Structure 1
Amino acid sequence: MRELPVYQVDAFTNQPFGGNPAAVCPLPAFLDDGLLQNIALENNLAETAFIVPSASDDVDYELRWFTPSIEVQLCGHATLASAHVVFRHLHPDWEMVRFNTASGLMTVVHAGDFLEMDFPNLHPKPMSGPEGLAEAMGAAPSEVLDANTGDDDLLLVYDNAQTIRTLAPDPLKMAALSPYGFIVTAPGDDGIDFVSRCFFPNKGIPEDPVTGSAHCAAAPYWAQRLGKQELRAKQVSARGGDLWLKVVGDRVKISGQAVEVMRGTLLLP
């Protein structure tokens, strides 16, 4: 029986049971892909992150992300959770960690109570939405953009924050539009620049509580629309989460907090 550590971290929040929970499994080497997928399914969280020490001098860890059903190419909250585990448990003397991922090098800097991630700017572009989009979402979007995440996600821009809060999309109709995922966003209120919610039925995630990677598309859109490079964002899911964003050329700096809520041992045959 192999015993491996596993941590559960709530990302983009400073309170337990808020934000987006992710499991983080530090490993000496990657296990078989099928076993990694089964572990993610067993955890049954939006994402399980696996980190392995890198053999490269330019990278600290190899990082992969799995939903309960697939491996994904880009994930923010599980990267934040992974960095939290590195800084709290694996290398408490570090101020920065470098992850090699399917989307390239991702660095995370430990800055006081916050962790700042350096992610790609996905430069969303206008497009025509698929037929049946308005019916699936329960409201006609005012603008549709290709979020350019590599996973066929759409950025749907609405007129006001209340529309986002009360949006009640039809899960079956959304699933019928596979392979699309849906990032819905609108101007914010109460000092927030913009709000969002995210639905990824094509990844086995009906609604993701807080989605860091979605802001690689949403932040550049709102930076251009609002004429400002530093933004405050809130994901208004039931759990909710807070993000501080800075658009710098082809990169997006995504800052947030994280709270560890569980640690244990993974038992493998």
Structure 2
Amino acid sequence: MAKKPVKYYVVDAFTDSAFKGNPAAVCLLEEDKNDYWFQSVAAEFNISETCYLTSIHGTSIPRFGLRWFTPVSEVNLCGHATLAAAQTLFSTGLVDNNVIEFVTLSGILTAKKIPASNVTSAQNDEAKDTFYIELDFPADPIAESNSDDTSLISEALNGASIIDIKRTKNGDDLLVVVSSGKNVTEVEPQLDVIGKIAGRGVIVTGIAPSESGFDFYSRYFCPKFGINEDPVCGSAHCSLATYWSKKLGKCDLNAYQASARGGAINIHLDEQKQRVFLRGKAITVMEGCILV
């Protein structure tokens, strides 16, 4: 029997401009596939994340199974691909609701469609009919780093002006604070050295320039998972929100990921519930079918 083609969309997340932000492939499944197929398709797309949606019936709120794969591995949590999945479902009319639930390896995550007028952002909204998507994610606590690799970290960031090093508890990333947002943009990562550092990846962050309208800048490097630099990493902001909220003394933050593609995230931290609400836009840039 011939295999049914799998519909997919490629969505640029945390941006309202095509070919900016972070691209994710969203695949809509109507029948079961095995993990080998998932990983092979993700390797074929060869972008930071490919995700797979499976409809779950019989719930009052639209619910979907959601899995995320980098070109080399499945991951437990991905912000930008979740945003891309929600954008696909909202914009194509596949759901007739303003809230979607995703069943994931990190539990049930929700995505909510909210009008742009309800969001305070560093970026101006020109179109009145545009909307943001709000993701409800678990906060990632910050811990002291026990790493003895300070010199290795400095080498990995090519001598960047490091002022603090922390570790994220859930993501097992190093969070490296540098002297300024400008320093973040100037970092020249030595990926082979980053690959030798214990943990998953390295988040580099610094206070944003006062004239930028943002609170902080960041970049994220994760060569161990086949992502040399993730253009805009939603899950990294679950720890960045925890760090900068305490540092700046506020729960509402505007963040900019200063990769070559760049992207903006509006953040609210609910410290009591230990939840991070990530708000961003997304734009669908292509669609097609997987034939095998």
Residues 25-53 of structure 1 deviation map (CA, whole Å, 9 limit, x = unaligned) = 01124410011000000011100010111
Structure 1 letter corresponding to 2:51: A
What TM-score results when the alignment is normalised by the length of structure 2? 0.88
Match of 1:124 in 2: 142
Residue in structure 2 matching 1:146, options 167, 171, 186: 167
Residue in structure 1 matching 2:36, options 31, 34, 43: 34
Instruction: Give the 5 Å matches for 1:1-269.
Output: 1-55=3-57, 57=59, 60-112=63-115, 113-131=131-149, 132-138=152-158, 139=160, 141-150=162-171, 152-177=172-197, 179-189=199-209, 190-249=212-271, 250-268=274-292
Partner of 1:176: helix, strand, or coil? coil
Residues 99-144 of structure 1 deviation map (CA, whole Å, 9 limit, x = unaligned) = 0111111100001210000000111112133421111122253211
Residues 210-258 of structure 1 deviation map (CA, whole Å, 9 limit, x = unaligned) = 0000000001110011000000000000000000000012100000000
Task: Report the Cα distance in structure 2 between the residues aligned to 1:56 and 1:183, rounded to whole angstroms.
Answer: 40
When residues 208 and 130 of structure 1 are mapped into structure 2, their CA distance, relative to the original with a 3 A threshold, is farther
Structure 1 letter corresponding to 2:220: C
Partner of 2:72: helix, strand, or coil? coil
Q: Is the 8 A contact 2:174 2:199 kept in 1?
A: no
Structure 2 letter corresponding to 1:22: A
Give how far 1:55 is off. Answer: 4.9
CA RMSD in angstroms comes to 1.5
What TM-score results when the alignment is normalised by the length of structure 1? 0.95
Partner of 1:142: helix, strand, or coil? strand
Task: Report the Cα distance in structure 1 between the residues aligned to 2:58 and 2:247, rounded to whole angstroms.
Answer: 40
Task: Report the Cα distance in structure 2 between the residues aligned to 1:130 and 1:264, rounded to whole angstroms.
Answer: 48
Q: Is the 8 A contact 1:29 1:53 kept in 2?
A: no
Gapped runs of 5+ residues in structure 1?
A: none
Task: Report the Cα distance in structure 1 between the residues aligned to 2:187 and 2:139, rounded to whole angstroms.
Answer: 27
How many percent of aligned residue pairs carry the same amino acid? 39
Gapped runs of 5+ residues in structure 2?
A: 116-130
Q: Is the 8 A contact 1:130 1:177 kept in 2?
A: no
Paired residues in the alignment total 267
Give how far 1:93 is off. Answer: 2.1
Give how far 1:92 is off. Answer: 4.5
